[in-house]
Amino acid sequence: MGSADQVNRLVAGAREVVKGKVKMTPSEAFVETMVSNGVTDVFGIVGSAYMDALDLFTPAGIRFIPTVHEQGAAHMADGYSRVSGRHGVCIGQNGPGITNFVTAIAAAYWAHSPVVAVTPETGSMSIGLGGFQETDQLPIFSKITKYQAHVNNAARMAEMTARAFDRAILEMGPTQLNIPRDHFYGEIECEIAQPLRIERGPGGTRDLDAAAELLAAAKFPVVISGGGVVMSNGVEACVKLAELLGAPVVNSYLHNDSFPASHALACGPLGYHGSKAAMTVINKADVVVALGSRLGPFGTLPQYGFEYWPANAKLIQIDADPRVLGLVKRTSVTVCGDAREAAEALIERLSGRTALFSRLTGGGLAGASTRGERERYAREAKDVWAKELAEWHHEKDAWSLEVSKGAKEMHPRQMLRELEKAMPADAMVSTDIGNICQIANSYLKFERPRSMFGAMMFGNCGYAFPTMIGCKVAAPERPAIAYVGDGAWGMSFGEILTCVRENIPVAAVVFNNQQWGAEKKNHVDFYSNRFLGVNLENPSWAGVARAMGAEGVTVDSLADVGPALAAACKAQGEGKTTIVEMMVTRELGDPFRRDALKLPHRLLDKYKAYSAA
């Protein structure tokens, strides 16, 4: 029985927050503040540090989801928040339980996820004495959280808890709530705060006016729809703005769900193994409007040997976070505002400038008469890319050809295409870090937001599976699928037990190429195939899954890929988690970055043989 069954959120009063200044225990203040913030699920591993508060989760209508590893718990909180737009919460034992959070909180930081990491710590009377499970927990998270609340006095429990929750949403990123473990006990008098939810607004009038002028003068405007569009629930507004301008739309890197893929103006994602159509189209732009994007440095690197960023285009950057404006790319206009509201404000400013208005006043949209041309250009670019991709069955570099010669395993690209074809309409897909997961970027298309969950810019192997478990908790009705390489799977498969124990049915598609492929590619490209630590001897991952109480399927022919995915999605309706192990060749696609490494140069005689070939 999963703990969901133990929580009856309909227990009278469970979700009703105590009102006014009341005497309570700090544990009660902590739990009530979570209720006030709408928290219904918390991921973690039990620990004596916070047992007094844990005891109250069930009567408060909060489900506690025990995980295999605290890193998994924090990734789950991340996935949960990315799907729901609400807080993801994780908690653990002081010391090692908390340090186990670190990688996942860093990942959530770069995914802009409002995760609250609750970190009980050594009791206040023994801090600094070097007792059991003690480490200074604030410095560890200082660079990977937006805010750190420290409960320095039990009387401040409600206040600090509320602030940690408020700031996670306010700044869209993880916050830490650090609580010396003795501060859960005692009696305090306090009031439970209402959540502080501010309206961000569309941005300054002057900046929006300037943006509208630039767009009105654009001959070839292109929209980059970023993660901020998803987070602000702004896809509809983005569609309207693009339609008004007749502007093709590209997704920012790993945000393939930020614009409906079937829309006539949609050109697909930029970035590593993104859409060549998107790159061809943006290269033509005279004005680019980056809506809800920090324009991260890796999202616009040259791809396919194509330096596509339009260096001479005017750039309008719109983002809710002022710190990212003008940071990576020089902007012509910057707008600090909510992506949805800013798009709506631009629509308001531009919608009067119809073709008729334009004829009468000469002040209309400069690109109005050529919208058909842009649409045609985008359509042709998409057709060319679709054809190229359809014929791109396998990698063609010398090493890939050699290792796949006569191989009975599937070519990764063909396998990814079969997965794409079988993808259920409302699926949620997370992707890990690895060569095949990155190539998957070419084959992942979405119609609705909050559907794609890449490992984003922290880029840690082991992200996708636990994140998808969190996604499934937030959206149990949607098919949940994690794409994971076999190396990354070794880091994360333990959480199968969480799926089975807690009845959280998901599917994981494991790409078994028996190698840490993405890193091996560097050995091929830079180190004359001097392989070290990149080959993997795997057990049957399907067998391992079965031993852990899940379904396990091994697929080695293309015809079985689609049916296996469909079955794994259907099985979720029956409460079953399925691991689909794809047996694929060892061929490897283009590397992430060509500028990441230099050819080896050695000076000492003993290492001379280890120079570039």
Ligand X SMILES: Cc1ncc(C[n+]2csc(CCOP(=O)(O)OP(=O)(O)O)c2C)c(N)n1
Q: Which residues bind ligand X (CB under 6 A)?
A: 433-436, 459-462, 485-488, 511, 513, 515-519
The CA distance from 153 to 137, in Å, is: 17
Structure tokens at 202: 């569309």
591 close to 565: Cβ distance less than 8 angstroms: no
Which CB sits closer to ligand X, 318 or 436?
436
Find the shortest distance in angstroms from Cβ 95 to ligand X: 21
Which CB sits closer to ligand X, 184 or 443?
443
Structure tokens at 245: 């301008």
Structure tokens at 506: 């998901």
The CA distances from residue 229 to 224, 319, 334, 426, 581, in Å, are: 10, 9, 16, 18, 34
Which CB sits closer to ligand X, 88 or 591?
591
Considering CB distances under 5 to 8 angstroms, the limit depending on partner class, which of ligand X, Mg ion, none binds residue 462? ligand X
In this structure, what are the phi and psi dihedrals at residue 417, rounded to the nearest 5 degrees? Answer: -65, -40
Q: Using CB positions, name the residue nearest to ligand X.
A: 485
In three-state secondary structure terms, 145 is: coil
Per CB under 5 A, does 431 bind Mg ion?
no
The CA distance from 518 to 591, in Å, is: 7
Q: Using CB positions, name the residue nearest to Mg ion.
A: 485
**Which residues are registered as beta bridge partners of 176?**
117, 148
Considering CB distances under 5 to 8 angstroms, the limit depending on partner class, which of ligand X, Mg ion, none binds residue 336? none
The residue from 486, 495, 525, 581 that contacts Mg ion (CB under 5 A) is 486
Alpha carbon 589 to its chain's center: 22
Find the shortest distance in angstroms from Cβ 516 to Mg ion: 6
Which CB sits closer to Mg ion, 315 or 583?
583
The CA distance from 407 to 402, in Å, is: 10
Find the shortest distance in angstroms from Cβ 443 to Mg ion: 17
Stretch touching Mg ion by CB under 5 A, among 165-173, 246-254, 473-481, 514-522: 514-522
Q: Maximum CA pair distance of the chain?
A: 79
Stretch touching Mg ion by CB under 5 A, among 69-77, 233-241, 505-513, 586-594: 505-513
Stretch touching Mg ion by CB under 5 A, among 179-187, 208-216, 362-370, 509-517: 509-517
Find the shortest distance in angstroms from Cβ 542 to Mg ion: 16
Which CB sits closer to ligand X, 366 or 488?
488
| Residue carrying structure tokens 């003690």 | 134
What's the N-to-C CA distance of the chain in angstroms? 59
Per CB under 5 A, does 485 bind Mg ion?
yes
- Cα angle at 357 between 369 and 239, to 5 degrees? 60
Find the shortest distance in angstroms from Cβ 487 to Mg ion: 5
Find the shortest distance in angstroms from Cβ 328 to ligand X: 21
Considering CB distances under 5 to 8 angstroms, the limit depending on partner class, which of ligand X, Mg ion, none binds residue 433? ligand X
Find the shortest distance in angstroms from Cβ 586 to Mg ion: 9
Residues 6+ away with beta carbon under 8 Å from 504: 2, 65, 469, 472, 473, 476, 498, 577
The CA distance from 35 to 27, in Å, is: 12
Considering CB distances under 5 to 8 angstroms, the limit depending on partner class, which of Mg ion, ligand X, none binds residue 72? none
Find the shortest distance in angstroms from Cβ 359 to ligand X: 55
Which CB sits closer to ligand X, 215 or 582?
582
Which CB sits closer to ligand X, 516 or 527?
516
Find the shortest distance in angstroms from Cβ 523 to ligand X: 11
The CA distance from 32 to 277, in Å, is: 51
Q: What is the dihedral angle through the alpha carbons of 547, 553, 554, 558, rounded to the nearest 10 degrees?
A: -170
**Which residues are registered as beta bridge partners of 91?**
44, 118
Task: Of 337, 342, 282, give the one whose Cα is nearest residue 315.
Answer: 282
Which CB sits closer to ligand X, 234 or 299?
299
Per CB under 5 A, does 438 bind Mg ion?
no
Find the shortest distance in angstroms from Cβ 231 to ligand X: 24
The CA distance from 342 to 373, in Å, is: 27
Which CB sits closer to Mg ion, 174 or 517?
517
510 close to 564: Cβ distance less than 8 angstroms: no
Scanning residues 516 to 535, which ones bind Mg ion (CB under 5 A)?
517
Find the shortest distance in angstroms from Cβ 181 to ligand X: 30
Considering CB distances under 5 to 8 angstroms, the limit depending on partner class, which of ligand X, Mg ion, none binds residue 145? none
Do you know the residue count of the chain?
A: 613
Residues near Mg ion (CB under 5 A) are: 485-487, 513, 515, 517
